[in-house]
Amino acid sequence: MTISSTAAAVDQSTSPSLRSRFAKNFARFLSSPLNCFSLGLTTLLFLLALLAPVIAPYPYEQINPANSLSPPTWEHIMGTDQVGRDIFSRVLYGARISLSMAVMTIFVGLASGVFVGAVSGYLGGVADEVIMRVVEIFMSIPGIILALALVAVLGPSPLFIVLALSIRRITQFARVTRGAVLGVKALDYVAACRVIGMSNVRILFFHVLPNCIGPIIVLATVLMGNVILLESTLSFLGLGIQEPTPSWGTMIAAGNELLTFAPWLSLFPGGFLFLTMLAFNLLGDGVRDHLDPRGASVI
């Protein structure tokens, strides 16, 4: 067998088509009622966020001082805040803000962290040691402290908040990807790829990383809820999204002093935050159990 035919044999896939495998795996994933519930709840939250301009009965910044602190009614199903803004509209737009920032944070963390971790694990040696020591330095700092420090220095703009939240995600994705790459690169087919003359770039990005995708997907799903909670925490402390743009954290903080008099100010955004955390945590557990039946942690 010639080198070219051997290379073709390595690249050629004899397994069923990608679409067929995905359909079977997705059907098996949905066989669990808990997975169906978490996926349905997550999808509903994304739809509410996406359709907020259509569903919201009022503009989120529209004030009506004459109707301030109104309890839930048919006109304002979640009541109004201190300046008469509709809570329901602001909760919907808050979901839009929280989910969009979480998606951007996970995207930045995944893209950067996977690249760093893959290069570190595949190269090994001095490069691996240097990269991992830097990663460990950032991992040693509590995520909330790191985010607070960066936002305090850079300012509470959405871009800087995403950057502050992404730093810790980069280190987490880097560690998980490195561990997966170390396991895969020791397999026989990787040695065969080297023997037939494939470049390291091709081996890493076309033959090693595709077989590391499981732990990466699990980590991305689990971290979505964590990022949303962290963003809400920053907003609650006054270093996140600023008024009048709605955020669940700022809404909870605004109603904190009026819990006994107007509990709906914090109850509804807090409830949505709870449902979001529940949905992503359950979905992350379901994805982990589906892709890693042994139950090994990816964090």
pLDDT tens-digit series, residues 78-107 = 999 998 899 999 999 999 999 999 999 999
**Residue 93 phi, psi (nearest 5):** -70, -30
Pick the closest to residue 258 from 108, 81, 106, 135 (CA basis). 81
When pLDDT is averaged across residues 1-12 and rounded to a whole number, the result is 46
pLDDT band at 292 (very low <50, low <70, confident <90, very high): low
Q: What domains, with CATH codes, occur in the chain?
A: 83-291 (1.10.3720.10)
Structure tokens at 32: 């669990």
DSSP SS3 for 61: coil
CA distances from 184 to 175, 209, 254 (A): 15, 8, 50
Q: Which two tokens stand for residue 216?
A: 């990466």
Q: Are the C-beta atoms of 256 and 266 separated by less than 8 Å?
A: yes
- What confidence tens digit (pLDDT) does each residue in 275-289 have? 999 999 999 888 888
Q: Which residues have a Cβ under 8 Å from the Cβ of 71 and sit 6 or more positions away? A: 79, 262, 264
Could you tell me the end-to-end alpha-carbon distance of the chain, in angstroms, rounded to an integer?
44
Evaluate if residue 271 carries a pLDDT over 80. yes
pLDDT of 239-252, one tens digit each?
Answer: 888 888 889 999 99
Written as one string, the DSSP assignment of 148-184 is HHHHHHH-S-HHHHHHHHHHHHHHHHHHHHHHHHHHH
Are 106 and 259 in contact by the 8 Å Cβ rule? The answer is no
Please, which pLDDT band fits residue 6 given cuts at 50, 70 and 90?
very low
Mean pLDDT of 143-165: 88
DSSP 72: P
Which positions ≥6 away from 110 have C-beta within 8 Å?
Answer: 169, 173, 216, 220
Residue 86: CA atoms inside 13 Å, Cβ hemisphere, count? Answer: 16
Residue 94 and residue 10: Cα distance in Å, rounded? 49
Neighbouring residues of 259: CB distance < 8 A, sequence distance ≥ 6: 265, 266
